[in-house]
Amino acid sequence: MPNLRIDNRPVEVPPGATLLDAARRLGIEIPALCFLEGCTPSTSCMVCVVKVRNGGAAGDGRLVPSCAARAEDGMQVESETPEVHEARRAALELLLSDHPGDCIALCQSACPAHLNIPLMLRQTAGGDLAAAAETARAALVLPATLGRICTAPCEKVCRRGPHDAPLGIRLLHRRAGDSRLASGAAPLPPRQPATGKRVAIIGAGPTGLAAAWRLLQEGCGCTLFDDHEKPGGMLRYGVPESRLPREVLDAETGLVAGLGAEFRTGVRIGRDLPLAVIQREFDAVLIATGAAKESEPPALGLGAASHGTEVDHRTHLTSVAGIFSAAGMVAHHQMAVRAVAGGAAAAGCILQFLVGKPVTAPHLSLTTRMGRLDAEETAQLAGDASPEGRLTPSQGEAGGYTAEEARRESLRCMHCDCRKATECKLRHYAAVCDASPSRHRGTRRRFEQDRSHPDIMYEPGKCIACGQCVQIAQRAGEPLGLAFQGRGFGVRVAAPLGGSMADGLRTAAAECVAACPTGALAFKRS
């Protein structure tokens, strides 16, 4: 039984065990992309490297892939040194540099509120407007309202645009929101148990409403103060009713009230109620008013950014303890979606403050970008999408899409997002190891998509040649199976003898998808 030390911790393993086995026995997590239990290691990713010092003698150290290196008696292994970390990061950055795929669809990235647009469109295309509405509301808070006034930055980057015309995303989340409101049974999201913490939100416009929506779900009490008679801010008092019917705005602000928000309208803080009183009664304060004009006096005794108040716009912290600011996030109703995003982000920072954690800026998930696609690549991406052009609502812009029109328009989506974005090991370990997708940016390999299988698709550009699918197919007794073809950077997995993916994976497709570490193999419908 080999006895060795990993990070100066002793461990005994059975004969034939690998260094990865030994590390896992100690509870040490070593990143591993190309390793799968029961398969022969391919050592293709080199992300699982560790440093071995036989007997600890200086100068004999070497980096080895832990998934394949056998544990030997007396080994001294280092898994968490700067040199090891840098080697793993370098391996990941090389893989990312040759990875033609968007982790997150461009439309979702462009949405300031990060609405999961591809998911909403899949739900709409499947006829489940109720689910689409909840997806939209989770991010936008006011999907029916914004569906009438948003400037739709998501549509400007839609990959369908160069092919013919971008999807009508704004009208689609409007349809979802409207349908849920019309049903009279728009459900409220669950709330965590009450924390006993209370937050005062000064301003009941889109910023304040979005902040309250998130805080309430986390068990905080919220009181929104506003000097107008009704909530909504510029949505109510700056947008013509012909464009935004007040019953729609009332219904959506009513959901925030239904979740537990208290509205104290007709109250101006600093005039009718001193800020000092608010500070004493609440655990935190969020200033969620619109942008102050240069001619106006400093707001609330603090001042707006233009009056010299110190505000960290990443954390929303002001120079006054316990007071946060998302004021000035939006100066006009056309950017209301940015106000919603700012309110939600500020709420996240307040939640950190309320539990005594350091207040940090919202975390942005690592994502890769393909860049511009040519006509041939775009045509491949559009392979399973509806060939219809963009639908014009039969009821006109004011009436919006019908449920059937929304379904048809959603079917135009090319689903350029990665189907395994939340499960991709490459993305996960790149974030863990702080790898940069752009460190070795050069000419990317061409985007390809093999849709010959009825249930799954294969994107060879994402393949890291781990060979797991090849071994799984062989183990499953596939008559044809899969094999490596080509050499060097051109190697790819394919069915031999000119067969299709459908020929190669008759029974083992789902198992291969589950094992694929990068999303090169994924289900068409996720």
Determine, yes or no, domain membership for 416.
no
Domain count, the chain: 4
**Shared domain check, 295 and 315:** yes
pLDDT tens digits for range 112-121: 999 999 999 9
Does some domain include residue 422?
A: no
Mark whether 41 and 81 lie in a shared domain. yes
At residue 438, the pLDDT reads 85
C-alpha span between 468 and 90 (Å, rounded): 23
**Calpha distance 344→139 (Å, rounded):** 9
CATH of the domain at 310: 3.50.50.60
251 with 320, same domain? yes
With cut-offs at 50, 70 and 90, classify the pLDDT of residue 55: low
Q: Does the residue 426 lie in any domain?
A: no
Please, what is the average pLDDT of the chain?
91
Q: Which of 8, 64, 11 lies closest to 41, judged by CA?
A: 64
For residue 58, pLDDT over 50 is answered with no
Decide: helix, strand or coil at residue 214.
helix
Q: What is the CATH number of the domain that holds 493?
A: 3.30.70.20
From 213, 208, 223, 216, select the one nearest 192 (Cα to Cα): 216
Tokens of 508: 């083992």
Residue 192, pLDDT above cutoff 50: yes
> Which structural domain, as residue segments, surrounds residue 463?
445-523
Residue 496 pLDDT exceeds 80: yes
Scored b (16 or more CB within 10 A) or e, 159-169 reads bbeebeebbbb
pLDDT single digits (tens) 213-244:
999 999 999 999 999 999 999 999 999 999 99
What's the pLDDT tens digit per position in 62-113? 899 999 999 999 999 999 999 999 999 999 999 998 888 999 999 999 999 9
Q: Are 212 and 184 in contact (CB under 8 A)?
A: no
Q: What CATH number did the domain enclosing 18 receive?
A: 3.10.20.740
Residue 205 and residue 349 in one domain: yes
pLDDT tens column, 232-288: 999 999 999 999 999 999 999 999 999 999 999 999 999 999 999 999 999 999 999
Task: Give me the pLDDT at residue 313, please.
Answer: 87
- Residue 213 belongs to some domain of the structure: yes
Average pLDDT value for residue range 4-20 = 95
Which segments within 216-299 are labelled E, that is strand? 221-226, 262-265, 284-287
What's the pLDDT band for 301 if we cut at 50, 70, 90?
Answer: low
Q: Are residues 203 and 350 in the same domain?
A: yes
**Whole-number Å distance between alpha carbons of 359 and 316:** 9
Q: Taking residues 148-155, what's their average pLDDT?
A: 96
Which stretches of 112-168 are DSSP H helices? 117-125, 129-140, 143-149, 153-156
Residues 355-393 pLDDT 10s: 999 999 888 788 888 889 999 999 999 988 999 999 999
- Under the banding of pLDDT at 50, 70 and 90, the label for residue 296 is very low
Beta strands of 399-516 (E only): which ranges? Answer: 456-458, 483-485, 492-494
Distance CA 379, CA 111 (A): 25
**How far is the C-alpha of 226 from the C-alpha of 289, rounded, in Å?**
9
Q: Give the three-state DSSP class for 404.
A: helix
Q: What is the pLDDT of residue 44?
A: 87
Within 8 A by CB and 6+ apart from 464, the residues are: 33, 34, 44, 45, 95, 426, 517, 518, 520
Co-location of 275 and 388 in the same domain: no
| HSE-CB for 514 with a 13 A CA cutoff | 8
Last residue of a domain, one of 30, 65, 94: 94
Between the alpha carbon of residue 201 and those of residues 207, 262, 362, the distances in Å are 9, 10, 20
Give me the pLDDT at residue 280, please.
95
Residue type for position 170: R
Same domain for 223 and 79: no
Examine residue 268 and state whether it is found in any structural domain, yes or no. yes
Q: What is the pTM of this model?
A: 0.88
Range scoring the smallest mean pLDDT among 75-84, 356-365, 469-478, 481-490? 481-490
Tokens of 418: 């990665």
* Gap between the Cα atoms of 165 and 155, Å rounded: 9
Taking residues 24-42, report their average pLDDT.
Answer: 92
Distance, in Å, from the CA atom of 453 to the CA atom of 440, rounded to the nearest integer, reads: 33
Same domain, 131 and 210: no
Domain assignment present for 360: no
Is the CB of residue 414 less than 8 Å from the CB of residue 159? Answer: yes
**Same-domain pairing of 202 and 350:** yes
The answer on 398 and 320 residing in a single domain is: no
Residues 6+ apart with CB under 8 A from 246: 236
**Which 3 state secondary structure label does DSSP give 144?**
helix
Same domain, 162 and 202: no
Query: What is the pLDDT at residue 426?
Result: 94
Position 485 in a domain: yes
Confidence of residue 332 (pLDDT cuts 50, 70, 90): very low
pLDDT at 386: 95
Question: Per the domain annotation, does 511 fall within a domain?
Answer: yes
Strands 75-78, 3-6: pairing is parallel
208 and 347 co-located in one domain: yes
| Site of tokens 């459900």 | 187
* Residue whose entry in the numeric block shows the structure tokens 């716009």: 313
Residue ranges of the alpha helices (H) in 26-126? 82-97, 106-110, 117-125
